[in-house]
Amino acid sequence: MTTRPEHARPATLADGDPWLIVGAGALGQLFAAALAPTHPVILLGRRPAPPAIRLRTLEGRDRQIALPRGQLNDWADRPAGNEAPALAILATKSHDAQAALDALAPRLAPATPLLLLQNGFRSQPDITERWAGPVLCASTTEAAYRPGPDPDSLLPDVVHAATGQTWIGDLAARHRALAASVAERLTRAGITAAPCRDIRQRLWQKLAINAVINPLTASHRVRNGELAAPRFRPRIVALVAEIAQIMQAEGVLPPDAGWQALIDAVIEATAANRSSMLQDVLAGRPTERDAILGPLIEAGRRHGLEVATIDALYRTTPR
C-alpha cells in the first residue's frame, strides 16, 4: 500500500464502468443482485460459482439474476487490461478486508475509489489511511442472510430479510460528491442510500446495534427477533447502558429516540434475519467479535469507564 498522495480525485463515477464487489457473503450478494440488472458488476468470492445469484426477495419470490462471478485470486492474477473497475466494494468480513485489498491492489488503478461495507470500526480507519484513492465507508441497515449449505438445490443463495437505509461517506469528509454519486446509483438499483457528512457517527451507531444483536444471536443461536423475549431483556438493558456511556464519551450523538429504542426497533424490524455473526457460527467460520466488541472495550478503557457487561459478552462470544 502507498501513502495517500495529494492529487485530484474523481468527484463522480462514469455510468458505464463496472463495479467490482469483493466478498460473496450475504451483503455482497445482495448488493450485486440489486445492481446487476441496471449496472455492470463483477462479484468475486473465494470459491467457484455459477454466473448468477438466486435471490429470495422480501416478498418471498425467488429470482435468478445473471452476472459475472469469479474467484478473488483468479481475478487478481489476471493480466492487466480490461475490466478496470470504476469502484471496488469490499464486502468481506472485517478481518479479511486488508488481505483482499492487498490481493487486488496490483490490478487496481491507484486512484480507484473503495466502498467499505464492513461491520465494526476496525478496518475502516486503517484502509482509509493506507489506500491512495478515495475511501468511502457505508453503514447499512439492509438485512440479508445465506440459508447455508444444503443438498436441496432449490434453496436461494441469499435471502433479503429486511429493507433498510444505507449511509455513505468518508472519514475525512472530503468526498461528498463521490458519496452522493454512489448513493444515487445504489438507490436507482433499489438499495435506498444517501450521502452522509459524518459517517463516523453512523458507523458508531451501527456498531452499537451490532454489539448487542450479533454476539447474543451467535451465542444463543437464535434469529434477531428472538432477542425480544423477556429472558434477554436484563442483559440487553445492561449492554445498552454501557454502550450509551461509551458513545457519550466518544462524542457520538444518540438517536432521537435514544439507544434502547433504536436497538429495540432494529430487533423488531429484522426479526426474521440471521445476524452475520450467527451465520458465521453456523457455517463454522471465524466471527467478527474483535471488530464489533473490540472498539467498544478499547474506548471504555480509554475513557476510564466500567464495561463489565461488554467484557463478559466478549469472553462468551464465539471467536
Active site residues: 206
CB neighbour list of residue 82: distance below 8 Å, 6 or more residues apart? none
Burial readout 73-107 (b: 16 or more C-beta within 10 A, e: otherwise): eebbeeeeeeeebbbbbbbbbbbbbbebbebbbeb
Q: How many CB atoms lie within 10 A of CB 64?
A: 12
Whole-angstrom distance, CA of residue 265 vs CA of residue 263: 5
Whole-angstrom distance, CA of residue 290 vs CA of residue 155: 31
The residues pairing with 88 across neighbouring beta strands, listed in sequence order, are 20, 114
CB neighbour list of residue 176: distance below 8 Å, 6 or more residues apart? 169, 195, 197
- Dihedral angle computed from the Cα positions of residues 67, 68, 71 and 74, in that order, rounded to the nearest 10 degrees: -170
Which of 70, 57, 60 minimizes the C-alpha distance to 20?
70
Q: How many CB atoms lie within 10 A of CB 112?
A: 20
Q: By the 8 A CB rule, do 275 and 211 touch? A: no
Q: How many angstroms separate the Cα of 293 from the Cα of each of 73, 94, 259, 284, 314?
A: 30, 12, 16, 20, 6
DSSP state of 231: G
Residue 216 is placed in which grid cell? 447474543
